[in-house]
Chain A
Amino acid sequence: MTRVFISRDSTALSLGAEQVATALEQQAASKGLSAEIVRNGSRGLFWLEPLVEVETSQGRVAYGPVQVEDVASLLDAGLLDGKQNPLYLGNIEEIAYFKNQNRLTFARVGLTDPVNIEDYLAHDGYRGLKNALALQATEIVKQVTDSGLRGRGGAAFPTGIKWNTVLNAPADQKYIVCNADEGDSGTFSDRMIMEGDPFVLIEGMTIAGLAVGATQGYIYLRVEYPHAKIALNQAIEAAYKNGYLGENIQNSGKTFHLEVRSGAGAYICGEETSLLESLEGKRGLVRFKPPLPAIVGLFGKPTIVNNVISLASIPVILDKGGEYYKNYGMGRSRGTLPLQLAGNIKHPGLFEVAFGMTLRELLYDYGGGSASGRPIRAVQVGGPLGAYLHEGQFDTPLDYEAFAAISAVLGHGGIVVHDDTVNMADMARYAMEFCVEESCGKCTPCRIGSTRGVEVIDRIVDGAQKEKNTVLLRDLCDTMTYGSLCAMGGMTPFPVLSALNHFPEDFGLTAKA
């Protein structure tokens, strides 16, 4: 029986992968051909989805993008024998876009059946947990600290330090909370892991539980990800059945329970304390810090809150050692970052690479320039609270400190490309509008400031007392930056001011001297 891989990833589905899988199954059967269709994660080369991969004696052979109309002719042309045809791509892993990545966290995504635990085990799954079970809690935390891993949710806080705080907080109950709210526009790496290799997240959370003595975990998943929820629940069920979750994990005497909880469409619930409020069944109002969630977290107990990618990077660290992970990267940015290329880009997709590549390499060598064929004018990195970069900044290496030095952020690694038809005053206005929409309302600079921000930008664009209102906008941004309780209000000035500073002509202003 020939194995054929067609993705169950949301983006592949959004392009018709389900219909292709159904057509292929039916038509192969009616032609008397034997094919077993495996629904894998996506390789992340989205301009080639729906992708069909066939397992042959010479390895996996890929075809794409495949539409339902192509299926009959592909089968006739010997698809199941890996024969050549116009959609033939060869081994997908030999394509430069894939080959030049450093897939540590995404090692299995696209390769395996995401919800088949045997497949996971056959591809190095649960080796990290096996090592962790033989270590003392402090030794697990040490591996994480040694790896240099910093939180991939946006704030880039050292994961080992957070874990150590929770480890040293005495309590009868502790929690591991996975932040799967992935609210940043232009990002989808969390989703791809959860749909494409949910076991790696489950394993990472289980190791976190062992490391700090927590026996209960929650995955707070945004409601916009129904396919991720299905995959996670299938994988969790399999992990329980096979003794990888629950009591006495792999006969170690250790316990870890895990449950998925759905969000309800509030961006602010990605902020960790708002998320905890939401998990407790309340409105997602941001909490004052201190106390840190590591000390007083979920239901008042010490809690690790980590992003999906942070937690999904733990298994490889425990498998190969902190040093191995640390050997990738530059400066204080260690390991790899799964970047997400989106917006107006020819080759959108997931690109996991060691820190240090320049934005320009990514945009042009791999991204292939804009989708429209027009010049790239502005690029927003790091989600809706990230700065807009202009052409002159594209040689900045993807590194936390290098980005901070140009008043920008890497955040969760989302990169949204705009061509020269973009109006940056519109984008600045949208950033303020988004803050109005999503502010939790707890503090004035954010709640009121953002509404004022929209009005002031409108006045500048309308030409009413331009200079005076520009000064007012800058003052307002200052108030939001320094007076907001969290980064929602505190960072909205990033996109606004970068748009104003780099693209003043779009506001009808002359360039700053």
Chain B
Amino acid sequence: MQDYQTQKPTVLEILDTHQAMPGNLLPILHGIQDTLGYIPPAAVVDIAKSLNLSQAEVHGVISFYHYFRETPPGDHTIRICRAESCQAMNGKALEAHAKQQLGIDFHETTADGIFSLEPVYCLGNCACSPSITIDDEVIGRVTTEKFDRLLATYKGAK
């Protein structure tokens, strides 16, 4: 895990640019996660101080939202849709296959640090179920074969 001292300037800069914004906590958390990949637990102290909130309040917000994470993700984050439309198109089999291929469960990262796996409840891509995203790329009609090809491609690209 990275040393917070090297991340702190980034956090402080993000806090600074959002100073005057009403309702700025979520935009700040997004800013930090977009830049660092996660929200370092040590950043909570700086966020709380800057927004005049208690650390418990900031932590409460981070943990309320599924999207925010407090540990570094793998190089690529795979999100698999678990919702109804994808289930109607073999999404459950895809989910099981993905876990088996990666050797991890949801909310885990592969030992080589390449992939993190997260569940998601609908990607708005239900017309082409089952759907997944890898980082910001949405992929539809994902069969188990297609999933394996994608894994190979992303592994190769790293």
Chains A and B form a bound pair: yes
State the A residues within 8 Å of B (CB).
Answer: 10-11, 13-15, 46, 182-188, 190-191, 223-227, 261-267, 278-284, 299, 340-344, 348-350, 371, 380, 384, 414, 416-419, 422, 427, 430, 434, 437-438
B124 touches A380 (CB 8 A): no
B25 touches A416 (CB 8 A): no
Specify the chain A residue showing the minimal Cβ separation from B123: A224
What is the CB-to-nearest-CB distance from A254 to chain B, in angstroms, rounded to a whole number? 21
Set of chain B residues within 8 Å of A226, measured between Cβ atoms? 136
**Other A-B pairs beyond A264-B26, A278-B26, A348-B128, 7, CB < 8 Å:** A10-B124, A264-B30, A264-B68, A281-B24, A282-B61, A343-B84, A427-B84
What is the CB-to-nearest-CB distance from A272 to chain B, in angstroms, rounded to a whole number? 15
B61 touches A187 (CB 8 A): no
What is the CB-to-nearest-CB distance from A198 to chain B, in angstroms, rounded to a whole number? 15
B125 touches A10 (CB 8 A): yes
Give A267 to B131 CA distance when docked, in angstroms.
18
The answer, among B60, B123, B129, B138, for a CB contact under 8 Å with A343, is B129
Set of chain A residues within 8 Å of B22, measured between Cβ atoms? 280, 299
- Most chain A CB within 10 A, of B23, B86, B137, is at B23
Write 20 A-B pairs (CB below 8 A) sorted by A numbering: A14-B131, A15-B128, A15-B141, A182-B124, A185-B85, A187-B124, A224-B120, A262-B26, A262-B27, A263-B65, A264-B26, A264-B29, A264-B30, A264-B68, A266-B66, A283-B60, A342-B85, A342-B127, A344-B89, A418-B88
Set of chain A residues within 8 Å of B23, measured between Cβ atoms? 261, 279-281, 299
The answer, among A224, A278, A371, A427, for a CB contact under 8 Å with B122, is A224
- Most chain A CB within 10 A, of B60, B133, B140, is at B140
The answer, among B65, B66, B84, B136, for a CB contact under 8 Å with A416, is B84
Give A337 to B55 CA distance when docked, in angstroms.
45
The answer, among B26, B89, B140, for a CB contact under 8 Å with A281, is B26
A348 touches B127 (CB 8 A): yes
Set of chain A residues within 8 Å of B128, measured between Cβ atoms? 11, 14-15, 46, 348
Give A334 to B56 CA distance when docked, in angstroms.
48
Set of chain B residues within 8 Å of A341, measured between Cβ atoms? 127
Set of chain B residues within 8 Å of A414, measured between Cβ atoms? 126
B83 beta carbon closer than 8 Å to chain A: yes
Q: Mark B69-94, 1 if CB is under 8 A from A, else 0.
A: 00000000000000111111100000
Give A50 to B133 CA distance when docked, in angstroms.
18
Give A344 to B141 CA distance when docked, in angstroms.
11
Give A267 to B120 CA distance when docked, in angstroms.
10
B140 touches A14 (CB 8 A): yes
Give A14 to B60 CA distance when docked, in angstroms.
34
A15 touches B136 (CB 8 A): no
Give A191 to B124 CA distance when docked, in angstroms.
7
- Nearest 3 Cβ contacts at the A-B interface: A281-B25, A185-B83, A265-B67
Give A10 to B120 CA distance when docked, in angstroms.
16
Set of chain A residues within 8 Å of B126, measured between Cβ atoms? 185-188, 340, 342-343, 348, 414, 416
Give A360 to B78 CA distance when docked, in angstroms.
36
Set of chain A residues within 8 Å of B83, measured between Cβ atoms? 185-186, 384, 434
What is the CB-to-nearest-CB distance from A353 to chain B, in angstroms, rounded to a whole number? 17
Give A266 to B120 CA distance when docked, in angstroms.
10
Set of chain A residues within 8 Å of B14, measured between Cβ atoms? none
Set of chain A residues within 8 Å of B127, measured between Cβ atoms? 11, 46, 188, 340-342, 348-350
Set of chain A residues within 8 Å of B139, measured between Cβ atoms? 14
A438 touches B121 (CB 8 A): yes
Set of chain B residues within 8 Å of A282, measured between Cβ atoms? 25, 61
B136 touches A265 (CB 8 A): no
**B window 14-59: CB within 8 A of A:** 22-27, 29-30, 51
Specify the chain B residue showing the minimal Cβ separation from A18: B137
A343 touches B67 (CB 8 A): no
A14 touches B64 (CB 8 A): no
Give A348 to B131 CA distance when docked, in angstroms.
14
Give A46 to B138 CA distance when docked, in angstroms.
15
A225 touches B26 (CB 8 A): no
Query: Knowing A186-B122, A188-B126, A265-B65 touch, does A430 contact B87 (C-beta < 8 A)?
Result: yes
B89 touches A371 (CB 8 A): yes
Set of chain A residues within 8 Å of B121, measured between Cβ atoms? 183, 185, 267, 384, 434, 437-438
Give A380 to B88 CA distance when docked, in angstroms.
11
A186 touches B87 (CB 8 A): no
What is the CB-to-nearest-CB distance from B120 to chain A, in angstroms, rounded to a whole number? 7
What is the CB-to-nearest-CB distance from A201 to chain B, in angstroms, rounded to a whole number? 15
